[in-house]
Amino acid sequence: MKASSVQPIGFAVVVIAFAASASAANLIANGDFSAGNSAFTSGYNYADPMYWQPTHYDVGSVSAFTDHSENEVDSLLMVDGAYSATTVVWQQTVSVSPGTGYDFEVWGRYVMRGTGPTVTLSFTANCASLGTLVLSTYPNDAWQAFTGHWNSGTNTSLTLKIFDLQSNNSVAGNDFAVDDISLTTSQVLPPSLAVSQQINEVIVSWPDAGTFLLLQNANLTDPNGWITNTSWTTSNGTNYLNLTPPTDNQFFRLFKP
């Protein structure tokens, strides 16, 4: 018996991966410090104007550079490091959803305009370490980003803390700035689609198994034209669908309910 050969089926298919949401909301209140000395706590002493001595902080602007946000309010957290590496620089508690991944981001910068000690910032989530950020000293100082990932597990509350691990204040220069602190839910990108065209069927597949809904549209200019079929919902462990070949061009996208 002669094996069947793969034949074109006479129509074109354009594959579209359904995009995730554009941006997630920042759960940190006053993360850009535009609201001044509010919405966070610190083990440091607040001083306005800034008192450049160990264990003091202020919220405002510095003359040497602008804040990281570069928005209408030039405001950042400026800090003169403490004598103890266990003194909390910045702390905030937020509500979180169980079983959810979160991305934490902080921008830091060295403030001292001359030679000084290396500043290392440490970050914790519910007392567990997220990592550290070593700030480049002058003249190579610039805004540097720290990013960390945390999964809530069974937690419904998250306390984030920042520490300065440099406690040697016998030498001037343990001075730094912090800005644009954010905590967002992790954005999981949907899998890409692949189409295999055969004589009597079209196989639409994607790399990851899971519960997905496949939609099709004959006209991309019609946002209301996306339709589906009740049999086009896969269950966990499945990463493909066998479809009857359409008679004209179709656009497909994958949706995770």
Q: What is the CATH number of the domain that holds 235?
A: 2.60.40.10
Please tell me whether residues 241 and 163 are part of one structural domain: no
What strands lie across the sheet with 128-135, from one edge to the other? 88-95, 157-164, 119-125, 128-135
Domain of 132: which CATH number?
2.60.120.260
- Domain final residue, candidates 148, 169, 185: 185
**Which of 47-61, 113-127, 183-197 bottoms out in mean pLDDT, i.e. has the lowest?**
183-197
Print the SS3 string covering 182-206: EEEECCCCCCCCEEEECCCCEEEEC
User: Residue 28: inside a domain, yes or no?
Assistant: no
Q: Which of 136, 160, 185 is the last residue of a domain?
A: 185
Instruction: Please report, for the chain, how many H helices and E strands are present, in that order.
Output: 0, 16
Indicate if 244 and 199 belong to the same structural domain: yes
98 and 76 in a common domain: yes
Q: What mean pLDDT value characterizes the chain?
A: 81
Domain count, the chain: 2
Give the pLDDT of residue 146. 97
pLDDT of residue 3: 30
Residue with more model confidence, 10 or 254: 254
pLDDT at 93 over 90: yes
In the prediction, which pLDDT does 64 show?
Answer: 85
- Last residue of one domain, picked from the residues 185, 216, 243: 185
Q: What is the predicted pLDDT for the residue at 127?
A: 96
Binning pLDDT at 50, 70 and 90, where does residue 17 land? Answer: very low
pTM above 0.85, yes or no: no
The verdict on 51 and 98 lying in the same domain is: yes
Looking at the fold, whether 250 and 151 belong to one and the same domain comes out as: no
| Cβ neighbours for 183, distance < 8 A, ≥ 6 positions apart | 26, 27, 28, 94, 102, 103, 104, 105, 158, 160
**Higher model confidence: residue 125 or residue 210?**
125
Give me the domain span that covers residue 224.
Answer: 13-20+189-255
End-to-end CA distance of the chain: 44
